[in-house]
Each structure stands twice: as structure tokens, then as C-alpha cells.
Chains A and B, each alone.
Chain A
């Protein structure tokens, strides 16, 4: 149980276009979802935290107008990179928490999305 999927797994887009990445919890309801960014050979940096039905909370230094997050249901969160530029190329990973006491503080990670902006 506790499977998180991401789509697409890999995307290439042209500079100036927007791309949407989906994160789904397949077999549980995710009260909270997190979006991370990982540069090559580096750690995960938290970009934002999203709760279903409310606005996402962005970490310091993350442009909320550039990285739009929508958590429309308890099983789906989307990250839209608007007007993408080559420096936005990265590995984006989402995670979700179940919210029940038994799994408190355990995040389940998606497989990641490799974004390349040309």
C-alpha cells in the first residue's frame, strides 16, 4: 500500500512554455503533499507543501507565480512550471502523507519527473 505515482516520468519542453506534472496517491487519501526539487548529485530541496483545498505554502526563495501548485483532491496534486527556462531543468519529486496516526510523519515518495527545458 501507500503508492504515489507521478506523470509524466520524463518531459522535454521548449523555453517559454509551461509544463504540468501530476502527483497521485493511488491507494490512500493524502492530506498533505510535498513537492521537492533535486539537482544532479544533490539532495532534495523542499519547494512547497500543499493541503487539499487550500493554498500551497512555499519555501523561502521559491517563486509561487512560477511554480503553481494545485491540490484539488485528496489524491491529486499538480505542479505547473510556467514559462520554463533551462535553469528550471531538474528532477521534481512529490511525496504524500496519509494523515492517520499510524503513519504520522512518514512521507511516501513518487518516482520523480525529469524535466528538461531546451
Chain B
């Protein structure tokens, strides 16, 4: 079974500052990793995913994440945030070769202040 830990439930930052949202996972098998964003009262939108290959993954809206197998982490970063990045961010994993079920972390609320 897999589990996902998002270490920060809330992250407040100022506009144009860099941000890192942390995600660690636990799994006995190899995994695929995802970051999703959720705006209020909406469904989830995929930001980026790691399936294989380069451990640095670039996604939409200027976000990127780095897969670190030894530290079982998949932290999300953006060098300069905008007010519009204010949202809930979820890290998720699914097992390679298994079902397509996703296990989500509890989410990190990113608030970008002017």
C-alpha cells in the first residue's frame, strides 16, 4: 500500500516569491507521482506527473517538481508565484504495474499575498 505525506497544510507567500510545497511518499513498489491543483469548488487539474525518465519534471503554469527516489520525495516548486496561484495543491501516487488508483496527500493550501 502507498501513503503520501504533505508536510505543510498551509503555505503563505508573497507575490513573486519562490515557493516549495513538500511531498513525501511511502511505497513498497515503484510508483508514479502526480501533483494536482484545486481551485475553490472545482475539480482537480493536473499540474505535472512523473512516470519515468528525467527526475526533473516541468508542468503547467511554471511549476516543476523533482523526483528523489532515495528520499522518497516529490517536492513542487515555482520560482515566482502569482496571486492566481492561490489554491489547494495535492500530491498523489499510484503503483507502477498495478491499478490506476491514486492515493492522495491531505493537500497544501497555498496563499499568495500581494
Q: Is there an interface contact between B42 and A106, defined as CB atoms closer than 8 Å?
A: no
In the complex, which residues of chain A have a beta carbon less than 8 angstroms from the beta carbon of B42?
A: 111-112
* Distance A104 CA – B100 CA, assembled complex (angstroms): 8
A42 to chain B, nearest CB (A): 7
Instruction: Kindly state the interface size class of chain B when it binds its partner.
Output: 20 to 34
Question: Within the complex, what minimum Cβ distance (angstroms) separates B21 from chain A?
Answer: 14
Which residues of chain A are within 8 angstroms of B46 by Cβ–Cβ distance?
A: 106-108
For chain A, residues 93 to 117, give those with C-beta under 8 angstroms from any C-beta of chain B: 93, 95, 97, 104-112, 114
The B-contacting residues of A in range 59-118, CB under 8 angstroms, are 91, 93, 95, 97, 104-112, 114
Contacts of B103 in A (CB 8 A): 46
Among B11-19, B54-62, B75-83, B104-112, the one that faces the other chain is: B104-112
Task: Using known A-B contacts A93-B44, A109-B43, A112-B43, determine if residue A43 contacts B104 with beta carbons closer than 8 Å.
Answer: yes
Q: Which residues of A contact B73 (CB under 8 A)?
A: none
Q: Would you call A49 an interface residue if the criterion is a C-beta within 8 Å of the partner chain's C-beta atoms?
A: yes
Bound: A107/B36 CA distance, A: 10
| CB-contacts of A3-54 with B (<8 A) | 4, 6, 32, 34, 42-44, 46, 49
Complex: chain B residue closest to A57, CB-CB: B99
- Cβ of B41 within 8 Å of any chain A Cβ, yes or no, is yes
Interface pair B90/A32, CB less than 8 Å apart: no
Residues of A close to B34: CB separation below 8 A: 106
Bound complex: CA of A36 vs CA of B107, how far in Å? 15
The residue of chain B having its C-beta at the shortest distance from the C-beta of A9 within the complex is: B41
Contact of B101 among A4, A6, A42, A46 (CB under 8 A): A46
- Please measure, in the bound complex, the distance between the C-alpha atom of A44 and the C-alpha atom of B89, giving whole angstroms: 12
**B51 proximal to A (CB < 8 A):** yes
The 8 Å CB contact of A43, one of B45, B51, B99, B106, is: B106
14 cross-chain CB contacts under 8 A: A4-B43, A6-B43, A32-B100, A42-B106, A49-B99, A93-B44, A104-B100, A105-B32, A105-B94, A105-B100, A106-B46, A107-B102, A109-B44, A114-B41
Other A-B pairs beyond A93-B43, A105-B51, 5, CB < 8 Å: A6-B43, A46-B103, A95-B44, A105-B100, A107-B102
Q: Which residues of B does A touch, CB under 8 Å?
A: 32, 34, 36, 41-46, 49, 51, 90, 94, 99-107
